Structures are given as C-alpha cells and as structure tokens.
Amino acid sequence: MRRKLVVGNWKMNGNRAANASLLAGIVAGAHGSNASCAVCAPAPYLAQCQDALSASPVAWGAQDVSAQPGGAFTGEVAAAMLADFACKYVIVGHSERRACHGESSELVAKKAVAVLDAGMTPIVCVGETLAEREAGQTAAVVSSQLGAVLDLVGERVAQIVVAYEPVWAIGTGKTATPAMAQEVHAQLRAQLMARNAVAAETVQILYGGSMKPDNALELMAQPDIDGGLIGGAALKAADFLAILNAAN
C-alpha cells in the first residue's frame, strides 16, 4: 500500500506572523497521522518553516526551482540552495508556472532532474485546461507532460511524486468528480507502469484540483489517488488537517 501524502501549496501567500500561527496549528494536529504531510512555502519563508517544523512530522519544500545549478541567473533559486534549507519536496511544472511563465514540459523535466540531483523529491505537476478537456485532449496532454519528465529522469522514476491538477478545477469552484479524477490517475499509473512496473506501484500520484475537507475523503478513496496537492485549504490549519485526517 502506498502511504498517502498531503502537501500544502501556499502559493504567493503568507507573512511571518501568519505563517507562525499556521505552522503551529498544523504541527499540533499532525502528530499521530498515518499519512505523510508537507508544506511548500514561498522561498523567503523556508528558513521559518525549517525552524518551526524540524522537530515535527511535517516536512517542507519549495514551489519552484531553477534548472540551472548556479551562476548569473538573477532572481532564480538553485536546487542546492533549497537543499541547504533541508527541503524534502520541490513543486515543478505547476499549471501557474506553465501558463504565467511559459514553462515547457522540457524545462519542467530539467527542473525535476535538478531536484533529484540535489537529493530532494520533485512533485511533478501535470494537467489539462478546460479547452483541452472539452476537446477530448486530456489523455494526450497529461501523457505528453509526464512523458517529458520520464524521458529525463530515467531509472529514478521511483523517486518522484506526480500531481494531477486539472487546470479548469483550480480556484474556480469546480472539482472533477472522484470518477473523473480516478480515470486520469489510472492513466498516469499505466504510463508509469509502462516505464517501470516496480516503481509504478510505489510512486504517489496526488490530486491537485481544489481538494477540500468536504471532498477529500471520497477523492482519496479512489485506488490511484494517493493524496492531495492542496491550495486554498492549505492556508487554514483546520482545513488542512481535516484533509490530512481524511487521508488516514
């Protein structure tokens, strides 16, 4: 059985005072959970996360990384820098990075490799837009996005986490039904299976389409949904913990 994983993506939210309260609330409720959990914070707050979470069962990570190891890349953050703060996870290829910053699947793959090379776990995001779903292109889009990463990570596929985030369900109030989500998760699992059957059984595939306390239990009851990449609900300790409890 794959252990469930619940990861909070704070996006561009937070300040030191609010973070302290949120982290304290999460730590207080996370002890004893059968599921793994983590928070991915904006880079300026990684030191705060490290200080607050080091003695807790809650891991921490970053929301993006440069594909470059270092050098003259103003504003970028190298994987080694994130590892310096003991990050466990790094999100790569989030739909907002693809849409707002023009990130290609090939760049996302290079970022995933950079994360692996630095000893951390990439959370590789894939997902289709509403137009792509309505055009019947869901399978082709997510397969292409994941395939680019699998081509580069090679035998290290067992060391990644995959997150399916239907773009049309993020922040819109819409959510894929559990059956709709499971269908795509099963496809992604089959794609992993074709590359490495052993790894496919252990790689966690998270659902990232507006998972909330009221739908988390039903979503995570699906056989190929191994947890959630949580956006808005991750900014409230009670909501995040409710989702974590649903994963137990």
Q: Active-site residue 94, yes or no?
A: yes
Lookup result for tokens 């990644």: 160
First to last CA, the chain: 12
SS3 164: strand
* Apex 195 CA angle, 193 and 197, nearest 5: 40
Contacts of 135 (CB under 8 A, 6+ apart): none
- Nearest-angstrom CA–CA distance, 155 and 51: 34
Judge whether 219 and 155 are in contact, CB under 8 Å.
Answer: no
DSSP state, 156? G
Token look-up 């994941």 returns 146
Q: Is residue 59 within 8 Å of residue 37, measured between CB atoms?
A: yes
Of 155, 165, 183, 218, catalytic: 165
Q: Has 165 been annotated as catalytic? A: yes
Amino acid at 149: V
Determine the 3-state secondary structure of 99 from DSSP: helix
Distance CA 96, CA 210 (A): 14
Select which of 94, 96, 128, 185 is catalytic. Answer: 94
User: What is the spatial distance between Cα 93 and Cα 152, in angstroms, rounded to a whole number?
Assistant: 14
Measure the CA–CA gap between 132 and 17, rounded to whole angstroms: 40
Active-site residues: which are they? 94, 165
